[in-house]
Structure 1
Amino acid sequence: MNHLQRKIIPGLGVLALLWVLVGYILYPALTTLLKSLDVGGGASGGGDVWAIGLAHYWDFFTSPTSLMVLQNTLVLGALTVVLCGVVGAGLAFLVHYFECPYRELLDKLLLLPVIMPGIIIVFAFVQLYGESGLVTKTLELVFGLGKAPYEFSGLGGILFVHVYTQYVYFYLTVSLAIRQIDFSIVESARILGASRAKVFTSVILPCVAPALIISAAVTFMTGIGSFAAPSIIGGGYKVLTTQILLSKANNYMEVAAVQVVVLTVISMGFFGVLRWYEKQRLFTGSVKGVPFQPVAIRNRALRWLAHGLKIALVLLILLPFGTIIVLSFVDSASWMVSIYPQSFSLDNFVTIFSNHRKLQPFVNSIEMSLLAAFLCLLVAVPSSWIIEKTRLRGKGLIEFLVVLPWAMPASAVAINLITANSTPNIFAFNSVLVGASVLLPLGYFIKSLPIVVEVTHISFQGLNSTLIEASKSLGASWTTTFRRVTLPIIYPGLLAGFLYAFVRSIGEYTVSAFLYNASNKPMSIAMVNAIFEYEIGLAMAYGALLIALTVCLSLLISRFSPLGKDR
């Protein structure tokens, strides 16, 4: 039995882990790649093997429409990086580089968009800035305009949403880089006569450059993989993510596979840059000198301008939250005949909790998010243990597989699962999972896995192997050592990882749009349906419930997360 415990049982555990990672991450991705090389759909091409295999790619890269969609996607990603960089890095300097009253409170408020599901933000912005939005109609009334002063759709509308939801990447990383600057270097440069501008370009900027590169890579990947904003307010501005869903809906799965592969290859290129710079950051961040001292803004006018700018941006950030909460109490029917809401009640919430059909999406989202979070923990714990605490030869493969979904847009994850599970396969125990309810939580699980692995990995880094060896030397069994020594140390990270996965899944829209069915419709899809059925109050009530859940869980995450403690 001792031999089994030490050799055979751990070996079986590793095989089971690889079964899951290969079967639901690598195999689906390879299936999509092979599907893109399949000419069963009748694509044009040459007669040799390579021409046949690349026929769909030839059609894609010679089609003016496809090239326009690809160009739109790349332009959207690039502009998202530029605008988010200006806003996010600018806010990081305003809050952390210069002296800033109420810095801690402001820091928390500026991170609020990260907890809101993207689909809620899109609908909140539509109610504020759309053609009949509250802000739009107010401007028309105040200035006597005959029509809306702007058009909240297309590229401009998408970018507005992207800046709101994604500036946080730049803000977080640049803020961290600023706090890690060795202030003694800054003081030395000033003593040697360097001007403020010279100190900034020669000392400060090189220190934050890796953070800017990391943020740019993450933002670009997120920007090109965005689906909620392009699908709801994109209008005629077509991008790859929306075309993938269109191809899937029309059953052109080979075309969808090509689009997924192209999008994934672009994303993985930037993911490679991200991983390389992450290693650079970990190396340079290991030395810490004198803590950075925020710089005072001496010019009074500039100081008041900075304060005013921060207040305005915080109000803009809080406005969608307030809009969702207020509109959740609105009577949708009465609002249809007036510019501003006239009647408020609890009817929308009563409808949700008293009507089984309305309540079911809320219950479905909670159940599937819990399942996805549990699966993430089940896979992340042994994966992190193997990567951090063992010398297993295959741990490089495991590390690659658990982070691979990070480089995949959500639409790619969904299509991969569809192509792999549309026919019986060994990983699904010879079953067809397309159309089954389990496929959607599997999608949530795959998309959330990398962040859960990252959190649990940090927890295992804080686990001293000496304590485990001491417990064993005192005669404690493996289970006793795990229960009394290991678990209390890693427990906060495990709980934080579980909550991260739940929060990321509860309002997820992209994977849901591809994989849901009538029996497991999630809350994000119910919101979209309510909007199109002109039940705006009901949609916002769903949104308010999501906000309440994510805010409460985010507070727990900040309490237990190793990432939060690092900050």
Structure 2
Amino acid sequence: MRMIRNRRTLLVALVFLGAVFFGYVIYPQAVMIHGSLQVDGRFSLDHYVRVLDVSHSANTEAVMNSVVVSLLSIFLGGIVGGVLAFTLTQFRFPLGKTLSLMAVVPIALPPLVGVISFLFVFGESGLLPRIIQRMFQLERVPFYLDGLWAIVAVHVYSFNVYFYLFISNSLRQLDGSLIEAASSLGSSQWKTLRRVLLPALRPALVGASVLTFMASMASFSAPLIFGGDRRFLTTQIYATKLNGDMDVAAAQSVLLTLVSVGFFLILTFTSRSRGGAVKTKGSSRMAEMRVSPLLRNILISATVLLIVLELLPIITIVVISFVRESSWTWQVFPTEYTIENYVKLVADPRIFEPIQNSVLMTFLTVVGAILVGVTAAFVIVKGGLGKFRGLIDLLMTLSFAIPGTVVAVSLISAFNKPTILSGYSVLVGTFWILPLAYLIRTYPLVVRATSASLEQLDDSLMEAGETFGASLGRRFRKIALPLILPGIVSGCLLVAISALGEFVSSILLYSYSSRPISMEILSQLRGYNFGAAAAYSVFLLAVILLLAFVSNRLSRGGLGGGVRF
């Protein structure tokens, strides 16, 4: 039912959203595409021929490596997330609920922090390989993560959460009577899995796979740290930009965008499809698969081991944050500890500046995401758009599919000269281009979260307020806002987490005076100041946990909201 009855109000909202979408999402992309089609001021496809030329080994290698890593990330992430989801939803055992909470911890880690923590634990000089070397008196470390497999491991660590959340939700909604019926008809466990369980989980598996593929293709932190001489699409774009060949970087960015947006569209239409859903009459209870005691114990042991491996990088980075600078070189374990790394964070203005920058950028991003996201959600859900609702919904969430590297390249292309959209000033090299990049990628999170809450809002409540003469603004403040606040807060939490640790766009857009925390972490790491880099990382984790706690308190009551793509 339509809540926004005033056509003028709806028109103002649509004009505002159109200005944001076409001015800061479409326009930069159009300028970037135009640049990729120009050679000496004339239309040409030469840049695309060069990028797609199989004889040009660098570009071919970048595409192949990106695709291979993405497919491996889906396969292995699906196995890890599936094992965790099945075990933690099907079995009851001590600490099961605690492990369920710990299973989603990697999703809260900023990308660069997760990569660095992996480096400290599993890298060539990492703690785990050196501990094993010392235990068995080996001449060299028996293993360490590097290259393609290190990147895949980081992706599985971060993205298995998609499979865990999607599959867990589907298993909880699956009617247990279907499993019992199959068993009573003599179906084996394998046949029940293949004919009943997997068809019901198909939408969840497709959704998680597409998200993982998009995230892997757009990944930058892991290829940058672990890639070595290997080329990937995102790092190739970065290298091309550093070499000053912006038009070729634009062509590479267009290629990456087409892949990401294509899979985003697949995810969008798959999530709207009802395929795979199994409907039953009356109330249903959660499905429970019967397995042998041996298999049950194996799955529980594997789950505990996987959770321990997920927590190990976080524990390690906390410990290293207390290591005195230059005191940990050849030793297996650090020998000197201090709180000096944390004292410098607040006492040294030069070291505190990145924190100040990131906090301010995050605040601006969240405010912008609220203005755009809540407005868009109201227009989509309560604007009475009819057959245009799906189109507006798709357009207002499309920027989520654009990789951070591409967003940065497009903003450089569009705002390296004064325009009306930049207030007749050059944005490139300034503080303001960073929160703008963050906003473009994250406001769809607020759109989705707020939309989920609005779907559950009874329109009769707003109609009653209108009957008593309350204006639209007053009805929104007094009736709608308290009920949809949990959805807004959950979306803002995800926006804040993304903005605080953003690295992919930042590395292409920052200047020294506007450097965020992520860039300072990379600077400290390159200077072998591991304690300082870890202290910055722990600070980010602490702020994220604080935001999650505040979000949980603010979200009590009201209507549920969540982010769904």
Asked if Structure 1 and Structure 2 have the same fold, meaning a TM-score greater than 0.5 normalized by the shorter chain, the answer is: yes
Residues of 2 paired with 1:465 and 1:18: CA distance?
26
**2:166 alignment partner AA:** T
Which runs of structure 2 are paired with 1:475-486 in the superposition (5 Å)? 475-486=469-480
- Unmatched tracts of structure 2, length 5 or more: none
Distance 2:492 2:189 in 1: 45
Deviations 1:87-115 (A, max 9, x none): 11122112213444433211101000000
State the superposition RMSD in angstroms.
2.1
Give the letter aligned to residue 101 of structure 2.
K
Deviation at 1:285, TM superposition (A): 6.9
Aligned to 1:420: 414
The alpha-carbon deviation at position 402 of structure 1 amounts to: 1.9
Number of residues paired by the alignment? 552
Q: Which residue among 501, 519, 522 is the counterpart of 2:516?
A: 522
Look up the match of 1:61: 52
How many angstroms does 1:304 deviate by? Answer: 2.7
Aligned identity (percent) is: 35
1:204 and 2:197 matched:
yes
Q: Deviations over 1:438-474 (max 9, x none)?
A: 0000111111111111101112112211111111111
Residue 176 of structure 2 contacts residue 285 of structure 2 at CA under 8 Å; is this kept in 1? yes
Separation of aligned partners in 2, 1:542 and 1:79: 31
Unpaired stretches in structure 1, ≥5 consecutive residues: 42-48
Q: Name the counterpart of 2:166.
A: 173
Q: Which amino acid aligns with 2:48?
A: Y
- CA shift for structure 1 position 64: 2.6
- Equivalent pair of 2:200/2:277 in contact (CA under 8 Å): no
Range moving further from structure 2, 493-502 or 312-321:
493-502
Preserved CA contact (<8 Å) 1:98 1:297: no
> Structure 1: how far apart are the matches of 2:391 and 2:313?
42
Measured in 2, the distance between the counterparts of 1:257 and 1:415 equals 7
Does residue 389 of structure 1 match 2:406?
A: no
Segments ≥4 residues shifted beyond 6 Å: none
- Report SS of the residue matched to 2:333: coil
Deviation at 1:515, TM superposition (A): 1.2
Q: Distance in 1 between matches of 2:278 and 2:346?
A: 50
Equivalent pair of 2:253/2:406 in contact (CA under 8 Å)? yes
Shift of the alpha carbon at 1:227?
0.2
| Structure-2 change in CA distance of 1:273 and 1:479 (3 Å) | closer
Task: Work out whether residues 501 and 540 of structure 2, in 8 Å CA contact, stay in contact via their aligned partners in 1.
Answer: yes
Distance of 2:384 and 2:370 partners within structure 1: 22
- The CA deviation string for residues 485-531 of structure 1, in whole angstroms up to 9 with x for no partner, is 12211122222222221111101111111111112111111111011
In the alignment, residue 26 of structure 2 is paired with which amino acid? L
Alpha-carbon contact 2:323-2:334 (below 8 Å) kept: yes
Amino acid at match of 1:198: K
Query: Partners of 2:93 and 2:34 in 1: how far apart?
Result: 55
Aligned partners of 2:280, 2:226: CA distance in 1, in Å?
A: 46
Q: For residues 429 and 141 of structure 1, what CA distance do their matches in structure 2 show?
A: 61
Range with bigger deviation, 329-338 or 346-355: 329-338
Give, in angstroms, the shift of residue 565 of structure 1. Answer: 11
Which residue does 1:538 correspond to in 2? 532
Match of 2:449 in 1: 455
In structure 2, the partner of 1:44 is: none
Matches within 5 A, 1:262-273: 262-273=255-266
Q: Which whole-Å deviations, capped at 9, do the CAs of 1:210-265 have from their partners, x for residues lacking one?
A: 11111111101111110000001111221010011111111111111111111111
8 Å contact kept, 1:385–1:457: yes
- 2:349 is matched with which residue? 356
Of 398-407 and 86-95, deviating more is 398-407
- Cα pair 1:124 1:320 within 8 Å, conserved: yes
Please give the per-residue CA displacement for 1:41-62, whole angstroms capped at 9, x wherever unaligned: 8xxxxxxx8xx43111111111
Q: What residue in structure 1 maps to residue 29 of structure 2?
A: 29
Task: Report the more deviating stretch, 488-497 or 437-446.
Answer: 488-497
Aligned to 2:286: 292
* Secondary structure of 2:326 counterpart: helix
Question: What residue in structure 2 maps to residue 235 of structure 1?
Answer: 228
Comparing 137-146 and 311-320, the one that deviates more = 137-146
SS in 2 for 1:284: coil
- Tell me the TM-score normalized by structure 2: 0.93
Name the TM-score, length of structure 1 as normaliser: 0.93
Equivalent of 2:339 in 346, 362, 373? 346
**Are positions 1:405 and 2:399 aligned together?**
yes
Match of 2:320? 327
Structure 2 residue 437 is matched with structure 1 residue 443 = yes
Q: What does residue 186 of structure 2 align with?
A: 193
Residue by residue, what CA displacement relative to the aligned partner does 1:260-286 show, whole Å, maximum 9, x if unpaired? 111111112211211121012599377
Residues 17, 379 of structure 1: 8 Å contact kept: yes
Distance in 2 (alpha carbons) for counterparts of 1:517 and 1:58: 33
Which residue does the alignment assign to 2:505?
511
TM-superposed deviation, 1:294: 2.9
Alignment of 1:6-85 (within 5 A): 6-8=6-8, 10-40=10-40, 52-62=43-53, 63-85=56-78
